[in-house]
Structure 1
Amino acid sequence: MDAMSSPDIAQLSYEEARDELVRVVGELEQGQASLEHSLALWERGEALASRCEDWLIGAKARLDAARRGAGDGGADAPGADAENDA
């Protein structure tokens, strides 16, 4: 897949972006691409890495929110009684 004809990065799932990033890094590591193509690959790789990071930050925020929601159980939370008796 050519870096110029690849799908829009904003539309990629985390897995798609990660897999393409692995492919891009592999192609760069081979060192056989022209300078112009290497620069295009590098730029796409940076954008793919940023997309993956955005997905991971979003996932972390969702997990944090779920943990906060689970922590709102008050007395129903495991160990809540032990904390109140101390």
Structure 2
Amino acid sequence: MAEAKAKPVNNMGFEEALAELETVVGRLESGDVPLEQSIELYARGAELRGHCEEKLKEAEARVSQIAKTADGRVTAKDVNIS
């Protein structure tokens, strides 16, 4: 995960980032990773965690915009999150 060929976090969807985060955590918890690699994994994990949190905030904002119309139809407004 901390290899040079790691996919940029910003190009990941929530599920992909979460799966990699779980892998990173597992490797760190194993205690079998050298110190330098542990530091790289920790940094990657922090980046993945932040990305997952942002994706969850975006999803929460979109869900909060779902509303029923007077005739009972469900609509969703586009939300621009910056």
TM over 0.5: yes
Residue 9 of structure 2: aligned partner: 9
Give 5+ residue unaligned stretches, structure 2: 73-82
Q: RMSD of aligned C-alpha atoms?
A: 1.3
- Aligned pairs for 1:66-77 within 5 A: 66-67=66-67, 70=68, 73-74=69-70, 76=71
Superimposed CA distance per residue, residues 32-74 of structure 1 (whole angstroms, 9 cap, x where no aligned partner): 111110000000000001111011000000000113xx2xx35
TM-score, normalized by length of structure 2?
A: 0.79
TM-score, normalized by length of structure 1?
A: 0.76
Residue 38 of structure 1: aligned partner: 38
Give 5+ residue unaligned stretches, structure 1: 78-86
Which has a greater percent of strand? Answer: 2
Amino acid at match of 2:34: S
Residue 52 of structure 1: aligned partner: 52
| 4+ runs deviating over 4 angstroms | none
Larger Rg: 1
Which has a greater percent of helix? Answer: 1
How many positions carry a matched residue from both structures?
Answer: 71
